[in-house]
Amino acid sequence: MKRDEFSGFFGVLVATVGSAVGLGNLWRFPYLVGQNGGAAFILIYLAFVLIVCMPIIVSEFIIGRRTNANTVKAFQILAPGTPWSIVGIVGVVAALAILAFYTVVGGWTFDYLVRSVMYVFSKPDLSSLEQQFTQMVTSPVRPILWTILFMGVNAFIVMCGIKKGIEKYSRIMMPVLFVMVVMLVIRSLTLEGAREGLEFLFRPDFSKINTKVVLAALGQAFFSLSLGMGCLITYGSYIPKQENLTKLAFSTGIADTLFAILAGIAIMPAVFAFGISPEEGPGLVFIVLPRIFAQIPLGNVFAVIFFAILLIAAITSVISLMEVVTAYISERFTIKRKITVAIVSVFVTVCASFSSLSQGVLQEVKVFGKTIFDFFDHLSANILLPLGGLSIVIFIGWYLKKEVVYDEYTNQGTLKGTLFNACYFIIRYIAPVAIAVVFLDLILR
């Protein structure tokens, strides 16, 4: 049977941008910008995306498209008889670890979307909103039910396959997402007092830059671009042979960054206009924004739009994570896609239930000193992703023959290979050093 693939440039783009744009852009990015000095952080982030991350996206695409295989098999094909396929296995584990907490937040988002549709956020009382949030996340049953529903939606899409599932739904969801983000941006910019938020975002204060800020920027770039765990290898394996990988990588990087900045513009002016600290963290989205929505004209409409944005962004990321695991299991054990997705979904839901319970009744259960939820978060973002990213650049830069890399980069010599040398240099020298530094800092902290 012919392996499924994306239909063309736009199809690949909506799927990869869908994977990249997620809670990382809408919640983590604005909050890190807040904590790390605003515009200066953004400038460093942009430099990392452009210089370090774009070539890594290309690398993952090359591994995937060259082999047309899942992330484990891809390494087995390119490096037979070596332990390199462990990188693929680690990627699959990382995907499961991310899913185990990300789907819980997906469930919260679902819950909040329904609440906003039902006009729950009409009382602008911060303490009651805080209570609502704490009550929801700590309750034993409710968030798990929402997580199950959330998983169901994702499972349905992944079951439908690449072209008729992931691509089809991304084609619908991503433009909707974009339009809704723009609406939110306009609403936020027209608030009185918006200017302070914009200054925070766009006027750099270079005295705020230190190593911690630099490292936070690189870590965020990795997470936001879905790098280092085989997600883009798996999607890469469905890219048609004639598509230009460099163009795809650059478009993905730029679109993801655009979404992050738009999210910043949508959220920060509102935060400043209402005199709230930009360092609020997870609560920013679930506690502070509902309070703002309660105070602005048409607030309820915008609350619905906002939580719909979060939900869509979370879905298009979760399906990419599920595809990493699904492609591997169904191809490795020759199990039908639908059955594989069902197995993966049940497994993820069980793990997610434990993360959810660790916010409440299982709060005291600690894994390496962290709650189950935080453990999955830390393990994936801080350990497995940088480790995977480092292995991938070493693989492309030092293990794989340069001719093979060039051949795939230029579509078997049919493209000019613009920027190949710069890209290759970064992959060989700059990216490994940069990642090693971040990684060491993250584990030593």
Interface residue list for ligand PHE (CB under 6 A): 19-20, 22-25, 98, 223-224, 226, 229, 231, 317, 320-321
Least distance (Å) from ligand PHE to the CB of residue 109? 12
Least distance (Å) from ligand PHE to the CB of residue 64? 14
Listed as own residue / partner, the contacts of 63-67 with beta carbons closer than 8 Å and 24 or more positions apart are 63/233, 63/236, 63/392, 63/395, 63/396, 64/232, 64/233, 64/234, 64/235, 64/236, 64/237, 64/238, 64/239, 65/236, 65/237, 65/239, 65/241, 65/245, 65/408, 66/404, 66/408, 67/237
Least distance (Å) from ligand PHE to the CB of residue 54? 15
Q: DSSP letter string over 116-181? A: HHTTGGGS--HHHHHHHHHHHHH-SSHHHHHHHHHHHHHHHHHHT-IIIIIIHHHHHHHHHHHHHH
Q: Closer to ligand PHE at the Cβ: 91 or 299? A: 91
Q: Closer to ligand PHE at the Cβ: 32 or 305? A: 32
Whether residue 32 contacts residue 203, with contact meaning beta carbons closer than 8 Å, is answered with no
Least distance (Å) from ligand PHE to the CB of residue 20? 5
Least distance (Å) from ligand PHE to the CB of residue 365? 25
DSSP 2: P
Q: Closer to ligand PHE at the Cβ: 30 or 299? A: 30
Q: Closer to ligand PHE at the Cβ: 71 or 116? A: 71
Q: Which two tokens stand for residue 258?
A: 């655009």
Q: In 3D, which of 386, 324, 320, 380 has the Cα closest to residue 52?
A: 386
Q: Which two tokens stand for residue 379?
A: 């393990």
Least distance (Å) from ligand PHE to the CB of residue 227? 7
Q: Closer to ligand PHE at the Cβ: 110 or 121? A: 110
Give bridge partners of residue 367 from the DSSP assignment: 370
H or E segment to which residue 392 belongs: helix 385-394
Q: Closer to ligand PHE at the Cβ: 24 or 432? A: 24
Least distance (Å) from ligand PHE to the CB of residue 312? 12
Q: Closer to ligand PHE at the Cβ: 320 or 359? A: 320
How many distinct helices (H) and strands (E) make up the chain?
A: 23, 0
Q: Closer to ligand PHE at the Cβ: 286 or 424? A: 286
Q: Please list, residue by residue across 368-391, b when 16 or more beta carbons sit within 10 angstroms of its beta carbon and e when fewer do.
A: eeebbbbbbbbbbbbbbbbbbbbb
Which phi and psi angles does 261 have, rounded to 5°? -70, -40
Give bridge partners of residue 370 from the DSSP assignment: 367
Least distance (Å) from ligand PHE to the CB of residue 290? 21
Whether residue 62 contacts residue 405, with contact meaning beta carbons closer than 8 Å, is answered with yes
Q: End-to-end CA distance of the chain, in Å?
A: 49
Least distance (Å) from ligand PHE to the CB of residue 98? 6
Q: Closer to ligand PHE at the Cβ: 22 or 269? A: 22
